Every structure is written in C-alpha cells, then in structure tokens.
C-alpha cells in the first residue's frame, strides 16, 4: 500500500480497518497494476503489429491468433493490448484537466463566497444535472475527432463533479476551529486555503479521482463507440466494439468479447479502488 502516493501515510496507518473494504481496494489496485503494466509491455508482448493485416479476416481464436482476427485480418489480441493506451491516455488527460479546473474553481468559489460563488454554483449545477455523455457527444461532435479534443470534451463534463465536492468541503472546513485559529494567528488567505483547507480535503479528492477515472474510461469508450473518438486505424476498444457490432449477426463473438472485457476490467479496477479508499479514508461511513 506504500505506492498510494498522495495520501498521507498516517491516514492509512492510523487504524487498520477490518472488513471487505481493504480487499476491495487491494483487488482494484491489483487489477490496475496488471492492466497498466500490460500497456507498457504491449510493444514487447503483442505478437503482431495491431494496425496491419496479419492473416485471413474473421479467424476464430487459435494458437496462431490467440483471440482471433478482425474483419480486416488484424490480430485482436494485439489490438486489445494496444487499445489500453488510448483509453488510459484520454482518461488521464481528461481527469487531470477537470480535477485541476474543478478544484481550483471550487476552492476559490467556496472560500470567497458571495456573488461569484452563486454564479459559479448555478452554472456548475446546471452542467452537473445534464446527461454527461450527451454533453460530451455534443462537444466532441463540434470539435472533431482526435485524442486532445476527446479529452477536452470529457473533461468539461466532469468539472462540476470536482467543483461541487470541493466547494462543499471548503464550506464545511472553513468554519472549523483550526482554520479560525490559523486566521487569528494572521495566516495569509492563500496559506489557509492551501495548507489548512486543501490539505484536509485531499483524501476525499483521491476517492473522487479514482471513481472519476472509471467514469471517464466508460465515457471515452462510449464516445469512440459512437465514432467520435480517435480516427482509425489506432487500436481503441470502443471503436473496435462498434466494428464488431456489424459482424455480430454472423456470430463472430471474439471481435466484441475481448475489447469489452478489457473495458470492464479497467473500470472495475478503478471503481473497486475508489470504493475501498472511500471506506478506508472516511471512518464515519464505515459505521453503517
């Protein structure tokens, strides 16, 4: 558990929580480490180049093509391995973007209050209420395909998630005695905001981050499934699934099964990690 950077060690060591929660987090972490190492190892362990024809089309899984070949005779196993790269890249960029923008806006909006806070909250609440995927679809459709465009489209959708969470926490923390004490001692606003308030929000942020990556991967897969993602021939799970769909009535099950399972594993990994961390980091919830 040492590798969980960003979480103060004392939070993990304070009291070892019993129960399924720890196993959840560990299971999630194991799944993720496996998939992420596969991503880095893809160039070495993939048997074929994922974007060129390596054999006859639509071959079922065999010893030569472990997961079969697709409609263009490309190796499904290699494409599935390389597909992790796009999914993880896009979700990392978008989550980074939205968490930074959302956190900064949430911190300042919550701390300063007043009119600005009201306007920001109203806008963020409206975006939050709107179906995220549909907003991402609209933005992605306007901006055109591509890795960065897709990341931005997804990032916009999740900014309110961070904003609302951070703002709520700031409002709570702002009234705490230790913050008042710091203010009485003459600490600067920026010091209070970052050293006192933000430091105490960090654990919640980590949980939301982890759950958000899971969501972002699903959204990325959805967008590329709808043809709004990375242009072909780059291996991408969502896009490969949409191609596999056309061949589904023919019973070519291997084209859809494996990219789908990969998405499921990655999303599950982040969800489990987030759930586990949530229960570990917020002891109040554990009493339920």
Residues within the interface to other proteins (CB under 8 A): 20, 122-123, 125-127, 129-135, 137-139, 141-144, 156, 214, 218, 221-222, 225-228, 238, 241, 244-245, 248-249, 251, 253, 256-257, 259-260, 263-264, 267-268, 271-272, 275, 288
Closest to other proteins by CB, 198 vs 270, is 270
Closest to other proteins by CB, 143 vs 187, is 143
CB of 141 to other proteins, least distance (A): 4
Please state, as a whole number, how many other Cβ atoms lie within 10 Å of the Cβ of residue 102: 25
What span, in angstroms and rounded, lies between the C-alpha atoms of 2 and 4?
A: 6
115: tokens are 């009119």
Largest alpha-carbon pair distance within the chain?
Answer: 75
Reduce the DSSP state of residue 69 to 3 states and report it: strand
CB of 49 to other proteins, least distance (A): 25
Segment (H or E) for 11: helix 9-13
70: tokens are 């697709």
What span, in angstroms and rounded, lies between the C-alpha atoms of 104 and 122?
A: 17
Closest to other proteins by CB, 41 vs 134, is 134
Burial of 260 (0-12, 13-18, 19+ CB in 10 A): middle
CB of 161 to other proteins, least distance (A): 13
What span, in angstroms and rounded, lies between the C-alpha atoms of 38 and 42?
A: 6
CB of 121 to other proteins, least distance (A): 11
Q: For residue 75, give the DSSP letter.
A: B
What span, in angstroms and rounded, lies between the C-alpha atoms of 253 and 207?
A: 36
CB of 1 to other proteins, least distance (A): 20
Closest to other proteins by CB, 90 vs 197, is 90
Closest to other proteins by CB, 140 vs 201, is 140
CB of 215 to other proteins, least distance (A): 10
Closest to other proteins by CB, 82 vs 254, is 254
């Amino acid at each position: 558990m040492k590798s969980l950077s960003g979480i103060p060690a004392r939070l993990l060591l304070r009291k070892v929580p019993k129960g399924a929660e720890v196993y959840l987090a560990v299971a999630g972490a194991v799944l993720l480490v496996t998939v992420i190492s596969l991503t880095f190892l893809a160039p070495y362990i993939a048997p074929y180049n994922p974007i060129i024809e390596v054999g006859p089309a639509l071959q079922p899984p065999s010893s030569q093509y472990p997961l079969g070949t697709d409609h263009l005779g490309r190796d499904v196993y290699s494409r599935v391995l390389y597909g992790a790269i796009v999914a993880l890249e896009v979700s990392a960029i978008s989550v980074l973007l939205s968490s930074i923008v959302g956190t900064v806006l949430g911190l300042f909006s919550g701390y300063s209050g007043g009119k600005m806070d009201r306007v920001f909250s109203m806008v963020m609440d409206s975006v939050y209420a709107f179906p995220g995927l549909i907003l991402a679809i609209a933005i992605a459709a306007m901006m055109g395909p591509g890795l960065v465009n897709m990341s931005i489209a997804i990032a916009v959708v999740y900014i309110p998630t961070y904003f609302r969470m951070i703002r709520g926490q700031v409002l709570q923390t702002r009234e705490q005695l230790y913050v008042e004490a710091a203010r009485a001692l003459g600490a600067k606003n920026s010091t209070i905001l970052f050293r006192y308030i933000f430091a105490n929000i960090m654990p919640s942020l980590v949980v939301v981050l982890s759950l958000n990556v899971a969501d972002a991967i699903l959204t990325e897969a959805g967008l590329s499934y709808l043809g709004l993602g990375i242009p072909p021939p780059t291996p991408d799970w969502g896009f490969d699934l949409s191609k596999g769909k056309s061949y589904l009535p023919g019973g070519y099950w291997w084209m859809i099964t494996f990219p789908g399972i990969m998405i499921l594993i990655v999303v599950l990994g982040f969800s489990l990690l987030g759930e586990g961390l949530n229960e570990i980091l917020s002891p109040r919830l554990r009493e339920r």
